[in-house]
């Protein structure tokens, strides 16, 4: 049934560059119509509607690796793998709703979650660790998606790793540079179309080519009836529970999502995350069938080089499918890759503008702030490319980022909802959970390490805060703090007036320059 893959590399180049040029055209159109200053660039003037909101949330949450991992987990564990991969993913997006509603109400003019931490605690170490966590998280998103693109393009088109990395990072950097979050939202909405429709067509073609569902169903039943059950406890224990907890940290403790919380029109915030999470589900479910098809055809892990993530690209490129179907699959994964990297770049710009550049250089003019914000994308792209191209094993980066983000989750939730949480409770909860949990995770296993991190990050802040005599925090302070308009802000800056760049006192970043 499987055939040699004879697809030429030039097809892969056309797909990568063609998609990039298409996105660039959209980005240029968006830039000329919608982006005039830093405020538009990093927060879209808080005018993103429901359509672009839902479309972009689905695309940003659909990582290239996730597209392939849905097939990979189905291949490894059968339907239980697909269940534990799929269900927590959608929940993680929808779980943003209570936090988003609370903070959008408390801080209507917010920009970043780290700015909330600054205002809530006025504690520099807590802020620094949160900013580092967010930036590491953004790097991780970019690097994992680059690796996803490499795996896809190497498996299907045989293009060299370094070439794929250079082309992808260049393309996404160029089009992200032009429009900020408006570009990200609109291109990601188009990306969603190019993920969802091809997912259906390619999966159905694969099912047809391998003999149809009945043949596969019978084969899987013969191999092990448990492959067709969603209730295998091994899948939950080996990766399901850890993934579910980690995914929550990947949304609630991630600026990519918080940027959208403040960029979307307030009346659409709840609906955007509910619809985004709910309508993300069909993508991994459909693509998971490709993994079951690989399992049903008897594809061996050794045949695909031992990496289960490559099972989708391998099967699609070795079934003798029409070239257009293979290209559709490649486009699907590349769209997931481009949209997530673009979203990560966009989140980075808001962090850089609000949490780094403005606090360090409060008198910076709007024109320079805008330039510095855009330049951060180029710097980030260069660093990410250098990390991946250097060939270093970035396991330590992954582990550290994961530990910081996981340790941030519960203190962050407490900071949003529990007024008694103190800055020291917040800080020590994070520090101790990383210091103890990370070594445990390395020495023992993921599940134990994750539970230790969660446990410490929950217990320490609560006990510390209950023992403290500090008065409870008044969230109303954030809402009623004076809001400056831009003219006042930049005039104040020019005169050397006091500009504390924290939420509540942060101005609406520059409008027209």
Q: Which of residues 203-242 bind other proteins (CB under 8 A)?
A: 203-205, 207-208, 212-214, 216-218, 228-230
CB atoms within 10 A of CB 22: 14
For other proteins, which is the closer residue by CB, 49 or 320? 49
Total residues contacting other proteins by CB under 8 A comes to 82
* 501 scored as a contact of other proteins (CB under 8 A): no
Structure tokens of 314?
């391998």
For other proteins, which is the closer residue by CB, 133 or 284? 284
Using only C-alpha atoms, what is the Rg of the chain?
Answer: 23
Place of tokens 């997530």: 340
The single residue among 241, 274, 371, 440 that binds other proteins, judged by CB under 8 A, is 274
Residue 48's DSSP bridge partners are 264
Considering only residues 461-490, where is the footprint of other proteins by CB under 8 A?
485-486
Nearest to 341 by CA among 112, 184, 166: 184
Q: Which stretch binds other proteins (CB under 8 A): 115-123, 126-134, 285-293, 334-342?
A: 285-293
* 265 scored as a contact of other proteins (CB under 8 A): yes
Nearest to 397 by CA among 81, 54, 198, 146: 146
Query: Contact 227/295 with Cβ under 8 angstroms?
Result: yes
The single residue among 12, 20, 72, 90 that binds other proteins, judged by CB under 8 A, is 90
Query: Contact 81/74 with Cβ under 8 angstroms?
Result: yes
* 87 scored as a contact of other proteins (CB under 8 A): yes
Rounded CA separation 160/158 (Å): 6
Task: Please enumerate in sequence order all residues whose Cβ is within 8 A of that of 495, keeping only pairs 6 or more positions apart, or say none.
Answer: none
Considering only residues 176-195, where is the footprint of other proteins by CB under 8 A?
186, 189-190, 192-193
Q: Kindly report the length of the chain.
A: 513
Q: How far is the CB of 363 from other proteins (least distance, A)?
A: 22
For other proteins, which is the closer residue by CB, 33 or 396? 33
Give the helix/strand (H/E) hosting 430. helix 423-443
Place of tokens 């403290």: 468
* 326 scored as a contact of other proteins (CB under 8 A): no
The single residue among 361, 470, 512, 513 that binds other proteins, judged by CB under 8 A, is 512
* 400 scored as a contact of other proteins (CB under 8 A): no
The single residue among 97, 375, 387, 484 that binds other proteins, judged by CB under 8 A, is 97
For other proteins, which is the closer residue by CB, 97 or 442? 97
DSSP string, 247-306: HHHHHHT-HHHHHHHHHB-GGGHHHHHHHHHHTTTHHHHHHHHHHHHHHHTT--GGGGTT
* 319 scored as a contact of other proteins (CB under 8 A): no
Burial of 476 (0-12, 13-18, 19+ CB in 10 A): exposed
For other proteins, which is the closer residue by CB, 187 or 250? 187
Task: Please enumerate in sequence order all residues whose Cβ is within 8 A of that of 224, keeping only pairs 6 or more positions apart, or say none.
Answer: 78
Considering only residues 7-46, where is the footprint of other proteins by CB under 8 A?
29-30, 33-34, 36, 45-46
Q: Which stretch binds other proteins (CB under 8 A): 77-85, 118-126, 307-315, 445-453?
A: 77-85
For other proteins, which is the closer residue by CB, 41 or 275? 275
DSSP string, 55-119: HHHHHHHS-HHHHHHHHHHHHHHTHHHHHHHHHHHHHHHHTHHHHHHHHHHH-TT---HHHHHHH
Q: Which stretch binds other proteins (CB under 8 A): 89-97, 239-247, 447-455, 469-477?
A: 89-97
* 196 scored as a contact of other proteins (CB under 8 A): yes
Structure tokens of 223?
């191999």
Q: How far is the CB of 239 from other proteins (least distance, A)?
A: 16
Q: How far is the CB of 146 from other proteins (least distance, A)?
A: 25
* 278 scored as a contact of other proteins (CB under 8 A): yes
Considering only residues 98-127, where is the footprint of other proteins by CB under 8 A?
98, 101, 104-105, 108-109
* 266 scored as a contact of other proteins (CB under 8 A): yes
């Amino acid at each position: 049934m499987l055939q040699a893959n004879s697809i030429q590399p030039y097809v892969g180049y056309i797909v990568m560059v063609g998609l990039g040029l298409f996105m660039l055209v959209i980005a240029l159109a968006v830039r000329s119509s919608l982006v005039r200053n830093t405020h538009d660039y990093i927060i879209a003037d808080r005018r993103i509607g429901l359509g672009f909101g839902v479309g972009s949330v689905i695309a940003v949450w659909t990582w290239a690796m996730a597209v392939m991992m849905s097939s990979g987990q189905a291949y490894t564990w059968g339907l239980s793998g697909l269940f534990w991969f799929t269900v927590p993913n959608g929940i993680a997006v929808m779980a943003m709703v209570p936090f988003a509603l609370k903070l959008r109400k408390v801080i209507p003019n917010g920009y970043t979650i780290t700015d909330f931490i600054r205002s809530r605690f006025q504690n520099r170490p807590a802020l620094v660790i949160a900013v580092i966590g967010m930036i590491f998280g953004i790097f991780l998103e970019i690097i994992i998606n680059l690796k996803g693109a490499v795996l896809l393009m190497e498996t299907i088109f045989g293009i060299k790793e370094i070439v794929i990395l250079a082309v992808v990072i260049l393309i996404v950097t160029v089009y992200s540079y032009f429009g900020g979050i408006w570009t990200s939202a609109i291109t990601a909405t188009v990306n969603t179309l190019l993920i969802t429709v091809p997912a259906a067509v390619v999966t159905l073609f694969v099912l047809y080519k391998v003999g149809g569902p009945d043949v596969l169903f019978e084969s899987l039943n013969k191999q092990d009836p448990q492959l067709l059950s969603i209730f295998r406890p091994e899948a939950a224990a080996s990766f399901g529970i850890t993934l579910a907890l980690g995914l929550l940290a990947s949304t609630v403790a991630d600026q990519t999502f918080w940027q959208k919380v403040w960029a979307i029109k307030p009346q659409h915030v709840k609906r955007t995350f509910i619809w985004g999470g709910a309508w993300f589900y069909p993508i991994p479910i459909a693509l998971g069938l490709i993994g079951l098809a690989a399992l049903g055809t008897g594809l061996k892990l050794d045949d695909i080089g031992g990496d289960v993530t490559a099972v989708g690209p391998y099967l699609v490129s070795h079934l003798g499918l029409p070239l257009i179907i293979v290209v559709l699959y490649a486009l699907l994964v590349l769209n997931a890759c481009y949209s997530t990297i673009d979203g990560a770049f966009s989140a980075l710009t808001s962090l850089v503008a609000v949490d780094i550049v403005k606090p360090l250089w409060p008198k910076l003019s709007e024109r320079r702030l805008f330039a510095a914000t855009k330049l951060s994308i180029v710097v980030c792209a260069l660093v990410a490319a250098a990390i991946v191209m250097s060939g270093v094993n970035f396991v330590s980066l992954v582990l550290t980022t994961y530990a910081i983000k996981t340790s941030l989750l519960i203190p962050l939730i407490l900071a949003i909802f529990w007024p008694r949480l103190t800055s020291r409770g917040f800080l020590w909860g994070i520090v101790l959970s990383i210091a103890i949990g990370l070594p445990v995770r390395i020495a023992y296993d993921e599940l134990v390490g994750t539970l230790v991190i969660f446990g410490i990050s929950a217990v320490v802040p609560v006990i510390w805060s209950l023992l403290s005599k500090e008065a409870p925090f008044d969230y109303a302070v954030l809402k009623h703090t004076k809001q400056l308009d831009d003219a006042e802000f930049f005039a104040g800056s020019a005169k050397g007036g006091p500009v504390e760049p924290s939420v509540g006192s942060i101005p609406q970043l520059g409008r027209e320059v």
